[in-house]
Structure 1
Amino acid sequence: MTLAEFVNQFNSKNTIILLEGKRNVLESDKEKLIQLGNLLATHLSLATFRSGNADGADFYFSQGVLKLAPERLQVITRYDKHREKQNNAYETISLDQIDLVNEPDVVYQSKNNKKTKSLIDKYVGGAKDRFAIKAAYIIRDTVKVTGTNSGIPPATFAFFYDDLDNPKTGGTGHTMGIFDINNVPYLTQSDWVKWI
């Protein structure tokens, strides 16, 4: 897919583009992530961009969007005020604002992460100990893709910065897996770097 084809298909008010990836970003790639965020914000004047507000790829992608369109950057966080000083998005939604008991699909899909499967129900049930809180990362990553019954729209596309030597692992891998389950398209840097 070329940039022109992508813009033709996805420049719409209903488009939600997730920009995210690994926390460890090669020094030589940081500027590329900023450039992609800026390029997308420039060419997709109607789209909304979504981030998890994490260190690394999320931060650099967001910097590119913020240069041009801070009013179109939405962040979904694990809890209220998470990394608040680094958050310049127009809209921030935290898991604290979502009644997860009424989001069975989010909970069900979050359980696809084998490492935290047993912690998901504990967290949804109100446990906030140091173990259960790990589930919040996975649930947040699921919400970024699926949206919620309570009004957060699902993502329509994503751009990932993955570890190409160890792909689809960790939280980024979980998020990519949720995109796969829901048949939502995405690109990694292997493809989108050609647009820079």
Structure 2
Amino acid sequence: MSPDDCYLSSVCVDRTVSEQLLNKDDRPMLLLDQLREESARISQFTRFELRFVEDPPIGPSVSLFVGNLKENLSQRLYERVLLDKLGEKCRWDSIEVIYYESGCLVLNYHSSEKAEQAYELLNESIFMNKPITALLLPTIHPQNLPKGIQPLLVFVNLKSGGCQGVDLIVAFRRLLNPFQVSVHMFSCVSIF
């Protein structure tokens, strides 16, 4: 592997996900120090990622997890509920999977801008007196995992220990991964 096979990007996941490709002469620590001077909050939500050149920066599609819906509805009813919340301008390109028993599904968008708009709309929406859960999911490329490396999947019960699970998940998101990912995201990885 040579330096030409990779590129460095700065990803900020404050309210939306924004990515900035860095030049070869950019220094991450200097950029992070500059961000800290401008905004402590943004510096907490900024990550630097090393990616392979052959992978497109945004990928072919963006996955949006939608949860906290009523269980065991038909696909047509889930689509109707989501269209009421999103409108035709933020309509998804495809539905990847529906977990009927849990009342959640994963939508695919070919445009990251449309996915971010849908994310914002759904996070502000309520269905049957419950807030809708929306999460932009990362794309895992198992072919890029080095041999002998196994990703760690951590389950956290938010209500355990007098709701201390919430503090734990916030700490995990800050330290490890800003996304709460699930078994669905790891389905393409053979061992985890």
- TM-score (ref. length: structure 1): 0.29
Task: Report the structure number with the largest CA radius of gyration.
Answer: 2
More helix by percentage: 1
Higher strand share: 2
Give the TM-score normalised by structure 2.
0.29
